Structure 1
Amino acid sequence: MDVMRSRFFPPVFKGRLHDARTATSIGRWLGLAFAVCFVTGLVSHYTQHPPEWAANGLPSRPVWGYRFTQGLHVASGIAAVPLLLAKLWTVYPRLFEWPPVRSVLHGLERLSVALLVAASVFEVATGLLNTAQWYPWLFSFVPVHHAVAWLLAGSLMLHLAVKAPRIRDHWSRRSPGTLALPAEDGPDRRSLLTAVAAAVGAVTVTTVGQSFTPLKDLTLLAPRHPDHGPQGLPVNRTAAAAGVGAIHDGRYRLTVSGPRPCTLTLDELRALPQHEVELPIACVEGWSKSAHWTGVRVADLLDRAGAPAHARVRVVSLQTRGGYRVSEMGHEHARDPLTLLALRLNGEELTPDHGYPVRLIAPNRPGVLQTKWVGRLEALS
């Protein structure tokens, strides 16, 4: 019997930093990263998939709005990687608590922690793989990532409520609960926290340049460099991947529907008043870069077709496969003078991978909705 008991006796951890004070210190940073990531993630999700009641009222300004929020979303998500690893390191001995369940309340608490850990690891891991556009799973990333984000937020709030007394006791150096901790742990704890802060700084500085272009030369760990791509701009989806073959100038037609529908050839589009704007392409994977675009204002084309001022617009691509073949704009984007059907990028005719002959470019809009190879504009009621 004694032999059997010794075999199943839980291990004893003697590490001095697996304590509540260290866990609380790292948890503050991790909680902040998760909060920023969650809020900016909601902005991204509802900008791409707005509810019906909000679809016609999304703002087109500031022009850099989506670039900022999505860059911050990815940066905070990447910063959460070393923070989550450090947090799990401080608390993992509690996985071996014995007995594993002491009461119904304790069992529910452990279940909530398991849910929190699973959701945290899932969100960080899948989000990181999304920045590299690698999807080794069978589910659709966007809806699942969004749903688990709400699950993570709920489990985190529950965890904070359950652990509030202990968090309060170890929140600061002056908290009464910290007096019971050995004084000799102080230097080691400071060294650990310094190392974690250095890791967060390192992964941030070496990745954030894909969106914050002043640091673009330091993008050692970023999956994208903002300057690498045709015409000095990255491409997520090539013409070949979208099933777009060679488009001959003489055969291209743009159809604009409305009370007075019209069809324009490429030469007729080129003959219309051309406008130049500087707008960023900001993609959900976290990279972004500003560029100079030249083309025809969407508002001018809508006026030509007699579209109502508050009409939404559906933009239809010539691509034959893949998501986001069709996108919609509210009237604020459609009527914004910066919103163009662009024919030129940085002074040159668009390349096929950038949407030749015509692509949409609009302010404060996700890159996946900046439709390429545009063949039709439809004014909606």
Structure 2
Amino acid sequence: MRFRTVGAAVAGRLRGLPRPPLPTLRLPRPPLPTFSGRLHDARTATVIGRWLGVAFAVCFVTGLISHYLQNPPGWLADALPSRPYWGYRLTQGLHVASGTAAVPLLLAKLWTVYPRLFVWPPLKSVRHALERLSIAVLVAASVFQLATGLLNTVQWYPWPFSFVPVHFAVAWLLTGALVLHIAVKHPEITAHWSRRSPGTLELPAVDGPDRRSLMIGLAAAVGAVTVTTVGQALTPLRRLDLLAPRHPDHGPQGLPVNRTAAAAGVTARAVTDWRLTVTGPRPRTLTLDELAALPQHTVTLPIACVEGWSKNARWTGVRIRDLLERAGAPPGSALRITSLERRGAWRVAEMGAGYTEDPLTLLALRLNGEVLSLDHGYPARIIAPNRPGVLQTKWVSRIEVL
């Protein structure tokens, strides 16, 4: 009892004394690298970002065009234009060229800003955490889009998902992250947009030559990858397409082939007794000789594929609208076209009224004056203006009026 009384007395005296402050817990800064080069500054990042933003914008817009031409929703199918006949060739060529040019631009941009990964503390506030999260999404989506897009140009798919829908979805994710990033960084971008901006006045003049040298080297890299790949679509430069996965002159009958007859499971025996079935108010079944006896028309149209290559060729065959008229179909009818191949994502394709009514749309029997080779769709294939190559159905066996 005595000890308890003494303890209580001591505790009462201590309550009146000021408490010492608690020690502040400070995290030791890890040994991080230091960056003294001025080319990792905001001005350099802004200049490269402008170029990268243009490449991404062109790639996104042309990618939307490509996607909706290949996979139009029902309300858009009959409204797709067939002219200009070279439209898809231009937009898809730009899509692949801008995506390829974005690769060195993205690498340079990441090199410029990567020292900010080592900022300490890594998260300063909620706003800073959200900003870093948006940048992580932007970088991840950018790398994913460019990597998968480049692999698609060589038709190599080392992943378990379907390329087209995932690439399309991530494109929207990338664009949203980019818009958010620009909105958050707008004050800093504005301050370093030009050499005369107030935010750039503190930069030493000696950095100017180094920055110009970096920009010249980057422009040379972008030009080199563009010139050595764009020839697969811009045929005047085809002799320079050293890095392109396709050469526009290499292939049977002087035209490249993406999907061969062997890959599609179509053999010479399978087309021996070939017949074309055309359904409609007056359904008909035609042999190859009967098709060849109908009025023939020759058009010059490009084959333009999603991988970025394209080339003009002369096609001879029967107009689709003439076949529809003989089958008793009303003008402006849509079609469903079926191939002989047993499997494949594009074995069955639909064609809207904008294409069926165009006089350039043919059921082609000849290519560049020669009978179609089996790899090019013998006995008959579709050729239409402003239409992706995957929808130019080969080995046509059935045309159904919808």
The TM-score normalised by the length of structure 1 is: 0.97
Q: What residue is the counterpart of 2:360 in the other structure? A: 338
1:140 counterpart = 2:162 = yes
Larger mean CA deviation between 240-249 and 325-334 belongs to 240-249
Q: Select 2:68's aligned residue among 21, 40, 46.
A: 46
Q: Is 1:283–1:367's contact at 8 Å kept on the other side of the alignment?
A: yes
Structure 1 residue 5 displacement after superposition = 6.8
1:158 counterpart = 2:176 = no
Q: What residue is the counterpart of 2:109 in the other structure? A: 87
Q: What residue is the counterpart of 1:222 in the other structure? A: 244
Larger mean CA deviation between 154-163 and 175-184 belongs to 175-184
Point out 4+ residue stretches in structure 1 off by more than 6 angstroms.
4-7
- CA deviations on 1:2-61 (whole Å, 9 max, x unpaired) are xx9767233211222100000000000000000000000000000000111001110000
1:66 counterpart = 2:66 = no
1:198 counterpart = 2:220 = yes
User: Aligned partners of 1:335, 1:254: CA distance in 2, in Å?
Assistant: 20
- CA deviations on 1:113-146 (whole Å, 9 max, x unpaired) are 0000000000011101111111111111000000
Q: What residue is the counterpart of 1:366 in the other structure? A: 388
Provide structure 1 residue ranges, at least 5 long, that are not aligned to the other structure. Answer: none
- CA deviations on 1:141-187 (whole Å, 9 max, x unpaired) are 00000000000000000000000000000000110000011221110
Q: Is 1:247–1:357's contact at 8 Å kept on the other side of the alignment?
A: no
Structure 1 residue 285 displacement after superposition = 0.2
User: Aligned partners of 2:262, 2:31: CA distance in 1, in Å?
Assistant: 60
Taking the TM superposition and a 5 Å limit, the aligned residue runs for 1:1-381 are 8-247=30-269, 251-380=273-402
User: Aligned partners of 1:248, 1:35: CA distance in 2, in Å?
Assistant: 46
User: Aligned partners of 1:167, 1:248: CA distance in 2, in Å?
Assistant: 62
For the pair shown, the structure with the greater C-alpha radius of gyration is 2
User: Aligned partners of 2:287, 2:373: CA distance in 1, in Å?
Assistant: 18
Q: Is 1:342–1:361's contact at 8 Å kept on the other side of the alignment?
A: yes
Q: % of aligned pairs identical?
A: 75
User: Aligned partners of 1:97, 1:135: CA distance in 2, in Å?
Assistant: 37
Provide structure 2 residue ranges, at least 5 long, that are not aligned to the other structure. Answer: 1-25
Residues 291 and 101 of structure 1: is their aligned pair in 2 closer, same or farther, counting only changes over 3 Å?
same
Partner amino acid for 1:87?
Answer: K
- CA deviations on 1:216-251 (whole Å, 9 max, x unpaired) are 000011010000000000000000100112246661
Q: Is 1:23–1:91's contact at 8 Å kept on the other side of the alignment?
A: yes
User: Aligned partners of 2:40, 2:66: CA distance in 1, in Å?
Assistant: 36
Partner amino acid for 1:213?
Answer: T
User: Aligned partners of 1:46, 1:265: CA distance in 2, in Å?
Assistant: 34
SS in 2 for 1:99: coil
Q: Is 1:249–1:266's contact at 8 Å kept on the other side of the alignment?
A: no
User: Aligned partners of 1:350, 1:164: CA distance in 2, in Å?
Assistant: 56
User: Aligned partners of 1:66, 1:97: CA distance in 2, in Å?
Assistant: 46
Root-mean-square deviation (CA, aligned residues, Å) is 1.2
Partner amino acid for 2:46?
Answer: T
Q: Is 1:250–1:266's contact at 8 Å kept on the other side of the alignment?
A: no
Partner amino acid for 1:109?
Answer: E
User: Aligned partners of 1:311, 1:263: CA distance in 2, in Å?
Assistant: 19
Q: Is 1:274–1:296's contact at 8 Å kept on the other side of the alignment?
A: yes
User: Aligned partners of 2:299, 2:93: CA distance in 1, in Å?
Assistant: 22
SS in 2 for 1:190: helix
SS in 2 for 1:341: strand
User: Aligned partners of 1:64, 1:250: CA distance in 2, in Å?
Assistant: 34
The TM-score normalised by the length of structure 2 is: 0.92
How many residues align? The count is 377
Structure 1 residue 363 displacement after superposition = 0.4
Partner amino acid for 2:180?
Answer: L
User: Aligned partners of 1:133, 1:358: CA distance in 2, in Å?
Assistant: 25
SS in 2 for 1:118: helix
